[in-house]
């Protein structure tokens, strides 16, 4: 499996390259337009209660994506069989588990060969401690703002709390990242900070990304 923490589209103050994941995609033309921006990951949500629920996706559009863009299916408390069925159907490269999934599921999916991202809701520094059991079972952790729903809140948690994360697994930062956050992101110096996850603050409506806003933001990070 590729080590994606060695690839990215922007430079941090430490000179470490970071990843860009654009999540909540669903519309064919919008998927194609986002692909031109060359994100590292593109996320598709397979949680029926989400306003960004992706199915049915246009398989031809997904097949036309460059191999460099890894297709990630986002699931919430789904059973393993259904995850594998959907991953095979859409030829996904990885899965993001955004519910209360156990370590065993992460291990099984990684064993099959998928990139595994496990999301953790963050409300206080204590929440980082629960990641310890998942060390070695995931390629990345994703730290999102804790809400009653499973992500997509558009809200930030206190990024200063990232200093309390002492694990070895690289992490992606999520939760309310907006176009005016580039400067703050570039100041994050955590050695395990692998990249960012962009979603609701870059949308015209749920699932439809604002291409111009994304483009200018990514260029700001690169420069």
Annotated active-site positions, please? 23, 144
- Separation of alpha carbons 155 and 189, rounded Å: 22
- Cα angle, residue 204 at apex, residues 201 and 207 outer, rounded to 5°: 80
Would you call the peptide bond into 56 cis, given omega within 30 degrees of 0 as the criterion?
yes
- Separation of alpha carbons 200 and 120, rounded Å: 18
Structure tokens at 127: 């929440």
- Ordered alpha helix ranges (H), 74-147: 80-89, 103-112
- Ordered alpha helix ranges (H), 57-172: 59-63, 80-89, 103-112
Q: What is the DSSP letter of 38?
A: -
């Amino acid at each position: 499996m590729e080590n994606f923490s060695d690839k990215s589209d922007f430079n941090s103050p430490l000179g470490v390259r970071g990843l860009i994941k654009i999540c909540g995609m669903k519309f064919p033309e919008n998927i194609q337009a986002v692909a031109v921006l060359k994100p590292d990951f593109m996320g598709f949500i397979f949680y029926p209660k989400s306003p960004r629920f992706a199915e049915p996706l246009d398989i031809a559009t997904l097949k036309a994506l460059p191999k460099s863009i890894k297709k990630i299916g986002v699931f919430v408390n789904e059973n393993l069989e259904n995850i594998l069925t959907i991953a095979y159907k859409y030829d996904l490269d990885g899965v993001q588990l955004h519910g209360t999934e156990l370590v065993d599921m992460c291990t099984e999916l990684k064993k099959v060969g998928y990139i595994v991202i496990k999301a953790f809701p963050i409300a206080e520094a204590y929440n980082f401690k629960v990641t310890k059991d998942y060390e070695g079972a995931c390629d990345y952790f994703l730290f999102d703002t804790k809400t009653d729903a499973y992500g997509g809140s558009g809200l930030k948690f206190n990024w200063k709390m990232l200093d309390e994360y002492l694990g070895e697994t690289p992490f992606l930062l999520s939760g309310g990242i907006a176009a005016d956050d580039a400067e703050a992101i570039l100041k994050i110096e955590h050695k395990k900070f692998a990249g960012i996850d962009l979603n609701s603050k870059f949308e015209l409506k749920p699932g439809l990304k604002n291409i111009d806003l994304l483009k200018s933001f990514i260029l700001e990070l690169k420069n």
